[in-house]
């Protein structure tokens, strides 16, 4: 399969399954914006690195693995933020 055909197949796969990717991301991060960021980053990385894809048959698992890798990083940083509550002090100076 030519690289152009593989790229086109990847784009088609992403478009057809974008809701599934979003639902999987949202399940892990429980945050709409973070889930959308993960999916967007996975799409960008997938399109940038499509040459590493060896066959159309491996496309679904290849792309889903990249979503999961990004989810792991985001979920870890979100859980760290949740575990360590931030105390914000606001100081207002009046002149």
Q: The tokens of 2 are what?
A: 């030519």
Give the pLDDT confidence score for residue 75 in this predicted structure: 59
> For residue 69, what are the CA distances in angstroms to 2, 31, 66?
27, 17, 5
Which residues, including other chains, have CB under 8 Å from residue 46's CB and lie 6 or more apart? 10, 14, 62, 63, 66
Q: Which residues of the chain have pLDDT under 70?
A: 75-95
Domains, the chain: 3-83 (1.10.1740)
Give the pLDDT confidence score for residue 76 in this predicted structure: 61
Give the pLDDT confidence score for residue 91 in this predicted structure: 38
Give the pLDDT confidence score for residue 84 in this predicted structure: 44
Count Cβ atoms within 10 A of the Cβ of residue 41 and give its class: 0-12 exposed, 13-18 middle, 19 or more buried: middle
Model pTM above 0.75: no
Give the pLDDT confidence score for residue 93 in this predicted structure: 40
């Amino acid at each position: 399969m030519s690289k152009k055909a593989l790229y086109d197949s990847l784009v088609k796969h992403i478009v057809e399954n974008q809701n599934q990717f979003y639902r999987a991301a949202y399940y892990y991060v429980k945050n709409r914006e973070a889930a959308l960021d993960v999916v967007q980053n996975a799409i960008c990385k997938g399109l940038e690195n499509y040459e590493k894809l060896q066959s159309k048959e491996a496309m679904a698992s290849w792309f889903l693995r990249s979503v999961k890798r990004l989810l792991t990083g985001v979920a870890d940083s979100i859980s760290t933020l949740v575990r360590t509550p931030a105390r914000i002090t606001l100081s207002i100076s009046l002149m």
